[in-house]
Amino acid sequence: MEKIIELKNITKEYDGEKVLDNINLDIYDKEFVTILGPSGCGKTTTLRIIGGFEMPDEGDCIFDGKRINDVPAYRRHVNTVFQKYALFPHLNVFENIAFALRLQKVPEREIVTRVQEMLELVALKGFEHKKVTYLSGGQQQRVAIARALINQPRVLLLDEPLGALDLKLRKDMQKELKNIQTRTGITFIYVTHDQEEALTMSDTVVVMSEGRIQQIGTPTDIYNEPVNAFVADFIGESNILDGVMIKDRLARFAGKDFVCVDGGFDPNEPVDVVVRPEDVDFVDVEKGMLTGTVTSVNFKGVHYEFIVDINGFKWMIQSTDFVEEGREIGLYIEPDAIHIMKKSEYSGLYGDYSSYSDELDELSNADDVEE
């Protein structure tokens, strides 16, 4: 595949503060790329630089092999969909979608054909004469997407476009957006702080923190082989332990030696070890590689979520087997469930569930939906 956009050594400061720090990113034609990271990490700023609404202080933005730093937004083959739909309230659905074509003085017959195509694409056939203010949030966002796609941009930038929708609608729209992207073959650059959304929709995920790219990879790469404790913690739940690589394929953590599948570290190199909650099996105490005490149990519908104290470090374990609170239990971990990461500035910050509270977790998820 051809590269369509290249960001090269992009740096951006606001008020003397670096909000983008040496961003390097290649985006390929027809790719669905998601920029994922916590609030304030620089996602929107990155999009605005690609869209031409913001100039980088240093570095280059390349489109189809040509430097476009000085090309104004309206001359780039890029369109944007924002979280707030910004539709024209006085126009109906048809005229909102037709707007760009009217400006370009496209003949009426062609406008009708192209708007019909767009209505079909976003599943809004029959809505053309409705006032946009009467539409639901999800329907308004479809109009915004149709409006952004009608002049056939090469790249569509989407900045948390589903952020204002409730969870159920959001899931439906995720599927639909993915469909639209596949059908049109337009490159999508999608911004979200929702890791599940990023994993379900994308060909490539770009994880950012504090103005820097932490990892670029497929959803499975990012989930299975996080490069550091930040990525491991941000993508799903993770037990992250301090460890040592004794030699290739042998790691020591939690006071024991474990066979693993990683290599390429120095002998006795200090490392971070990630074990996902669903990758730990409960066994009898005498068969356990580790033993621990269950300190809390939560039923999650498909599985139970346990907090297990292993020598003072609290692990999260998910299992369909029920074990009651207070029980001592053995734990078994397959070699390929042990992921070894280099030490980083994020070491020691994440991965222990001592202060974990289910209630707090749900509260923060509720915040996400409201934002």
Ligand X SMILES: Nc1ncnc2c1ncn2[C@@H]1O[C@H](COP(=O)(O)OP(=O)(O)OP(=O)(O)O)[C@@H](O)[C@H]1O
Q: Using CA of residue 339, residue 342, residue 344, residue 349, what is the dihedral sign?
A: positive
Closest-by-Cβ residue to Mg ion is 44
Alpha carbon of residue 93 to chain centroid: 31
Say whether residue 44 binds ligand X (CB under 6 A): yes
How many CA within 13 A on the CB side of residue 322? 6
User: Which 286-305 positions form the footprint of ligand X (CB under 6 A)?
Assistant: none
> Which residues lie near Mg ion (CB under 5 A)?
44
Site for ligand X in 175-214 (CB under 6 A): 193
Residue 212 C-beta: closest distance to ligand X, Å = 12
161 binds ligand X (CB under 6 A): no
- Where residue 288 falls (left for φ over 0; alpha for ψ -120 to 50; beta otherwise) is beta
Closer CB to ligand X, 41 or 254, in the complex: 41
Task: Return the range that interacts with ligand X (CB under 6 A); candidates 43-51, 66-74, 246-254, 329-337.
Answer: 43-51
Pick what 39 binds: ligand X, Mg ion, none; C-beta below 5 to 8 Å, kind-dependent: ligand X
Tell me the site size for ligand X, rule CB under 6 A: 12
Considering beta carbons, is residue 199 or 341 the nearer one to ligand X?
199
At residue 219, what is the residue type? P
Binding segment (CB under 6 A) for ligand X, from list 35-43, 88-96, 126-134, 308-316: 35-43
Least distance between ligand X and beta carbon 60 (Å): 19
Distance CA 152, CA 186 (A): 8
Minimum separation from the CB atom of position 324 to Mg ion (A): 44
Q: Does 43 bind ligand X (CB under 6 A)?
A: yes
Helix (H, G, I), strand (E, B) or coil at 231: helix
Distance CA 350, CA 206 (A): 20
Q: Which amino acid does the sequence have at 202?
A: S
Cα–Cα distance, 66 to 140 (Å, whole number): 35
Q: Is 40 in the site for ligand X (CB under 6 A)?
A: yes
Select 208 or 294, whichever has its Cβ closest to Mg ion: 208
Query: Are 268 and 246 within 8 A, CB to CB?
Result: yes
What is the rounded distance in angstroms from the CA atom of residue 92 to the CA atom of residue 133?
9
- Cα separation, 81 vs 89, whole angstroms: 16
- Establish if 41 lies at the interface with ligand X (CB under 6 A): yes
Q: Shortest approach of Mg ion to residue 236 CB, angstroms?
A: 22
From ligand X, Mg ion, none, interface partner of 104 (C-beta below 5 to 8 A by class):
none
- Closest approach, Cβ 159 to Mg ion, in A, equals 6
Q: Which does 195 bind (CB under 5 to 8 A by kind): ligand X, Mg ion, none?
A: none
Residue that has been written with the tokens 């976003």 in this structure: 122
91 binds ligand X (CB under 6 A): no
Of 39 and 320, CB closest to Mg ion: 39
Q: Which is nearer to ligand X, 45 or 347 (CB)?
A: 45
d(CA 97, CA 105): 14
The residues near 85 (Cβ < 8 Å, ≥ 6 apart) are 140, 141, 143, 144
Q: 33 or 121, CB closer to Mg ion?
A: 33
- Among residues 19, 4, 31, which one has the least CA distance to residue 187? 31
Smallest separation (angstroms) from ligand X to the CB of 164: 13
Considering only residues 2 to 21 of the shown chain, the ones binding ligand X according to CB under 6 A are 14-15, 19
Distance CA 106, CA 151 (A): 11
Cβ–Cβ < 8 Å for 292, 299: no
Q: Is 62 in the site for ligand X (CB under 6 A)?
A: no
- Binding status of residue 147 toward ligand X by CB under 6 A: no
Q: Residue 320 interacts with ligand X (CB under 6 A)?
A: no
C-alpha to C-alpha distance for 65 and 180, rounded to whole angstroms: 26
Site for ligand X in 215-234 (CB under 6 A): none
Whole-angstrom Cα distance, residue 359 to residue 238? 18
**Residues binding ligand X (CB under 6 A):** 14-15, 19, 37, 39-45, 193
